Structure 1
Amino acid sequence: MSDNTLHIAVIGSGGAAMAAALKAAERGARITLIERGTIGGTCVNIGCVPSKIMIRASHITHLRKESPFDAGVSAQKAPKVDRAKLVQQQQARVEELRGAKYEGILYDHPAITVLRGDARFVDSHHLTVKLNDGGEQAVHFDRAFIGTGARPAEPSIPGLADTPYLTSTSALVLDTLPDRLIVIGAGFVALELAQAFARLGSKVTVLARSRLLSNEDLAIGEAIEAAFKRENIAVLQQTQTNRVNYINHEFILDTNRGTLRADQLLVAAGRTSNTELLNLEDIGVKTERGKIKVDKQLQTTVPGIYAAGDCTDQPQFVYVAAAGGSRAAVNMTGGEATLDLSAMPGVMFTDPQVATAGLTEAEALKRGFSVDTRVLDLENVPRALVNFDTHGFIKMVADRDSGRLLGMQAVTAEAGELIQTAVMALRTGMTVQAIGDELFPYLTMVEGLKLCAQTFTKDVKQLSCCAG
């Protein structure tokens, strides 16, 4: 490449940064990528990949203990869980994917140079990198992209910092199962890990400051609480932790619900953006509570400097990060692209899963829509009936005047596999009538969307099994 080639500095190597670097290189730019830690960022190393492996292992463990078919297919003996071997298997797959999808691609790419160290902005066109191997290197750039991600937040609970508590990062590689585990947090990460540990054999108590999944429709939190109750996972709502002590290898929590004790404490109460070392304030990049503010083009408040992913004010999903990074790269290289999050899917991988897209009923009302809603219980979904698992529901929110779908929420087995159909319907402005008239394969969970849509105009209990 010539000296006149557009030079873009990319800080980070996770989902957003990788997407930005590869798309910008594809469009002819020269890239210097700076990573201070492990190549690959959160998702492949300490997030999506290892957590879903752990969740799948716990699901298999649960099915070997009990299933809806135990009367005819009985377990011979209780499963023995070797947590150390599960972690070994999990981390081997993490290393495999990191090597194939991140390290191998970066180090083999002719347009990308990788620097290992801490980046700090000098001004809007210069960085200094404190190299991990010693010394510093100056980097001059035409454009810059920030994709530094986030880390588990540490709540300001007295005594907590002086204890060896677990975060979502350390919990995933914990090679022994605690007999008693307390989880502080009631969001996606907290609840996924709480159920996984419970199914592997720990006695788990979840502490929710308000209620489970307080940002979602109330019925979703209630359904997950009921699922946890069925599995003997204790849920304490409206619970404040006043102090944490660690004495004789035991965590002691002073709460408004009394004193609680556990062998391990997992704190999963949000994430903090990794932005404090970048010198953003001095160069004019605005943040709010550490999160970088970006516009629809993913540009920060400083022209030529872009950002995406968990370090910004965008939703913290890796596919949002990657989409943002890719679109930022288009804009950094002379194109025009925006990130439309109006139909963004969200999935929580508990059992049952939670999946959402578009607006909740409360959000639609707040935006001024006249809404019509329907909730379909799963005993009306043939796939759920033949699975002998009818816990949960599908809810649709529609515009009352036009019938256009505004949002959908589902608590079902494999909800993550059906949500994209709802996303496509939202993207194309489909009405619930049109969804109800579509062809859906019989005995699939996604058929529940058709049935829920049909409830706007008819009683689905009066339909034959696969009535069109």
Structure 2
Amino acid sequence: MSSKRTYDAAKDTDEGHACANSVNQNDSSSLHIAIIGSGSAAFACAIKAAESGASVTLIEKAEHVGGTCVNVGCVPSKILIRATQLMQHQRANPFDGITNMQPEIQRSLLSQQINTRVDELREAKYQSILDRNPAITLIRGSACFKDARTLFIDKPDGSQQTLNPDKIMVATGSTPTIPDIEGLNDTPFWTSTKAIFYEAVPQSLAVIGSSAVAVEIAQAYARLGSKVTILARHTLLYSEDSLLGEELTECFKEEGIRVLEYTQAHKVSYNDNLFTLITDDHTLEVQQLLIATGRRANTSELDLQAAGVETDKSGTILVNDQLQSSVKHIYAAGDCTTIPQFVYVAAAAGTKAALNMTGTPAKLDLTTMPAVIFTDPQIATVGLTEKQAEAKGYDVTSRVLAMENVPRALANFNTQGFIKLVAETTSGKLLGAQILAHEGGEIVQSAALAIANSMTVEELASMLFPYLTMVEALKLCAQTFNKDIKNLSCCAG
């Protein structure tokens, strides 16, 4: 697990207390589970727990159920990204005989369409589940711990409700982290939510941040027509394999996106509808400013200390691979915990937590967790990088295949990017894949399956892949461990 601390055996802060609603560990028919939050982790947990016979109470203080992903994160951002990709295709396509044209952009209509699809998916995937499942009840309000066994809920009408559930899961998600920059809080800066739904296009945009959210929105606004500058404290995608950030930076520069590496803003001001950013080497004036420097756990209002739940210094809940906190009947999942901040990981964690709470032992295994950053070309990774593998004691070898060697990329007249495979030297076992490619997110799952099944690069190279697909790049890269693919004909195994 990628947690800063895990527990072999979570402690119970109330060992002598027999819960009034205690049940047999293997009988969930009278088990009451309370879940704070209503996002992907919360709903996955609620559904699985209800299937096992438990009664579930969801507690949500926000106006809408569904959490970050459907409301202000994954869904609306990917709609925006796809729309701007089509705009870019109109401006610049690689084919002779097709005339490029400047797209007409009505940002307000696009924002309305995004909102409509968000409403539809929230209704279909969240609200309708509440309406159909009598075992799941929603309470509107803000929850906090009185002690390890008791929750207080402050309701919108000013009343308070007390719950004493058998088990509790915290799934309160996260919010954007705002850096400590002089003057920043006195300005109308954007976070990602504002940027996704904004109904106009600024002439210029500065983005402070260099991870997934920063680069996705930066490119989207560049394609909408803004002049975009990214301020990266280190390099783009600093925590990934360095080649990914280097190549993405070059792709961005080709699109006119300015990337300032090793640059931090020390002071920000806002006058006459312009932001002024002062760094060590630059003074920038832009019409809009986006802060995308990461996210922090939403736990400050829960009074976790009263329950004895341990967190790291930022308030992130420490969990083990069964999603238990330091208090054995209190679980946590999603962005408020030390597990990776991906919605599908949150959902998987919620399901595993429900199994554990209802008497079926289950662990969250993240060894083959794929990840995608939806830039164009896309970043897709799974398994270990070279540095990570070496740190774990592996003797590793790797190969990098430029996409100019992939027939589908050549046929598309778009050869940006590469595929990198990392393998154990002695066995040839595939350990990791790092991909920068158009539709890279559609390629990476094949690599994840190969790693999950302990395949060697030779086995991967000998598999049949359909010709003129992007995923064939995996086979070609695997072949480079033992062959010079320039000496092979098309489709040669």
| Fold-level similarity (TM above 0.5) | yes
2:70 is aligned to 44
Does structure 2 retain, via aligned residues, the 8 Å contact 1:107–1:114?
Answer: no
Q: Would you say 1:204 and 2:238 are equivalent positions? A: no
Give distance in 2, aligned partners of 1:18 and 1:417: 26
In the alignment of these two chains, the number of paired residues is 466
Tell me how far 1:293 sits from its aligned partner: 0.3
Aligned to 1:441: 466
Q: Which residue of 2 aligns with 1:66?
A: 92
Matched with 1:53 is 79
Counterpart code for 2:214:
A
In the alignment, structure 1 residue 256 sits paired with structure 2 residue 280: yes
Q: Is 1:428 paired with 2:453?
A: yes
1:87-117 CA distance string (max 9 Å, x none)? 0001100000001111111132100110011
Pairing 1:118–2:142 present: yes
- Secondary structure of residue in 1 paired with 2:197: coil
Superposed CA offset, 1:53-96 (max 9, x none):
00000001000111111x31113x41111110000001100000
Q: Which amino acid aligns with 1:45?
A: N
Task: State the one-letter code of the partner of 2:55.
Answer: R
**1:133, distance to aligned residue in structure 2 (A):** 2.7
Q: Deviations over 1:383-420 (max 9, x none)?
A: 10100111110000000011000000000000000101
Please list the CA deviations of residues 261-281 of structure 1 after superposition, one character each: whole Å capped at 9, or x if unmatched: 110000000001100111101
1:11 to 27, 33, 36: 36
Supply the distance in 1 between the matched residues of 2:150 and 2:378 (Cα, whole angstroms): 46
Q: Pairwise mapping of residues 386-465 of structure 1 onto structure 2 (< 5 A)?
A: 386-465=411-490
Q: Quick check: 1:301 aligned with 2:326?
A: yes
Alignment of 1:130-145 (within 5 A): 130-145=154-169
Q: Which amino acid aligns with 1:65?
A: R
The two structures, once aligned, show a CA RMSD in angstroms of 1.2
Measure the CA separation in 1 of the matches of 2:223 and 2:151: 48
AA partner of residue 62 (structure 1):
Q
Take 1:258 and 1:454, find their aligned partners in 2: how far apart are those partners? Answer: 46
AA aligned opposite 2:384: L
> Residue 188 of structure 1: CA displacement?
0.5
Tell me the equivalent position of 2:244: 220
Q: C-alpha distance in 1, partners of 2:92/2:355?
A: 51
> Is the 1:384–1:445 contact (alpha carbons within 8 Å) kept by the matching residues of 2?
yes
* Aligned residue runs from structure 1 range 243-322, under 5 A: 243-288=267-312, 289-322=314-347
Q: Which residue of 1 aligns with 2:8?
A: none
Asked if 2 retains the 8 angstrom alpha-carbon contact of 1:243 and 1:255, the reply is: yes
1:331-410 correspondence runs (5 A): 331-410=356-435
Aligned equivalent of 1:146, options 152, 159, 170: 170
* Structure 1 position 257, deviation (Å): 2.0
Which structure has more relative contact order (CA 8 Å, sep 6+)? It is 2
Contact kept, 8 Å, 1:374 with 1:397, in 2: the verdict is yes
Residue 264 of structure 2 aligns with an amino acid whose one-letter code is Q
1:178–1:202 Cα contact (<8 Å) kept:
yes
Cα deviation 1:224-253 (Å, max 9, x = unaligned):
101101100000000011011011111001
CA distance in 2, matches of 1:291, 1:435: 39
Q: Deviations over 1:178-197 (max 9, x none)?
A: 00000000000000000000
Give the Å deviation of 1:140. Answer: 1.1
Could you tell me which runs of 5 or more consecutive residues in structure 1 were left unpaired when the two chains were aligned: none
Give the letter aligned to residue 33 of structure 1. L
Instruction: List structure 1 runs of 4+ shifted beyond 3 angstroms.
Output: none
Q: Once the two structures are superposed, what CA deviation does each residue of 1:314-341 show, in whole Å capped at 9, x if it has no partner?
A: 1100000000000000000001100110
- CA deviation vs aligned residue, 1:295-315 (integer Å, no higher than 9, x gap): 010000001000111000111
CA distance in 2, matches of 1:291, 1:464: 53
Q: CA deviation at 1:124?
A: 1.7
Q: Decide which of 105, 128, 131 is 1:107's aligned counterpart.
A: 131
Identity of aligned residues (%): 54
Alignment of 1:150-165 (within 5 A): 150-165=174-189
SS at match of 1:261: strand
The answer for unaligned runs of 5 or more in structure 2 is: 1-21, 24-28
Distance in 2 of aligned mates of 1:112 and 1:391: 48
State the Cα deviation string for residues 18-43 of structure 1 (Å, max 9, x = none).
10111100111000100000210000
